[in-house]
Structures are given as structure tokens and as C-alpha cells.
């Protein structure tokens, strides 16, 4: 299973707010914070940017997400990776 994590990065003196999407395999993408969307959708936009940046053939139609443990982002995973009990 591939999980994509996102993290909010606050504004600094030289850059505006951003969202970083990353995987434990080293894929990353960072976008400027898209203020026109809700918080969750902003993080999903970063996931979409990661997939596009790395030309990944991943369908994002059935992604699921949950809060990160630090409260600064989300973890996204695919519907196909659900546990079969």
C-alpha cells in the first residue's frame, strides 16, 4: 500500500503558506496554499500535484483520508488497500 502524507507549512517572511505531500519512498510535491478550497481539499490538491509531478498512473477516484497524528495534515490511501476481515 502506498500512503501519501500531507503537511501544512505556515508562512514565513519570504514565502506564503504551503502544503507538502510526500511518501515514505521519497516522492514529494509542495504547492502554494490554495485559499479557495476547504482545508481537506487543499491537502488533496497537494496529493494531486504529487501524482502529476511524478507522472504516476494512480487513480485518485476512491482515495480515503484521515487526520495526521500532529494535526497539521492528512494521510491519504487507496480504497483498494482496505483490510479484508
Nearest residue to 8 via CA among 30, 38, 25: 30
pLDDT, tens only, 34-77: 999 998 999 999 999 999 999 988 888 888 888 887 777 899 98
The residue segments making up the domain with residue 48 are 4-81
Into how many domains does the chain fold?
1
Give dist(CA 15, CA 47) in Å, integer: 20
Residue 57 pairs in a beta bridge with none
Task: Provide Rg for the chain, Cα atoms.
Answer: 13
Q: pTM value?
A: 0.85
Q: What is the pLDDT of residue 84?
A: 67
Amino acid at each position: 500500500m502506498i500512503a501519501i502524507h500531507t503537511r501544512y507549512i505556515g508562512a514565513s517572511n519570504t514565502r506564503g503558506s504551503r502544503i507538502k505531500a510526500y511518501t515514505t519512498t521519497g516522492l514529494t510535491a509542495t504547492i502554494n496554499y490554495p485559499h479557495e478550497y476547504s482545508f481537506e481539499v487543499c491537502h488533496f490538491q497537494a496529493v494531486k500535484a504529487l501524482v502529476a509531478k511524478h507522472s504516476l498512473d494512480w487513480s485518485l477516484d476512491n482515495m480515503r483520508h484521515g487526520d495526521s497524528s500532529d494535526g497539521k495534515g492528512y494521510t491519504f490511501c487507496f480504497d483498494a488497500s482496505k483490510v479484508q476481515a
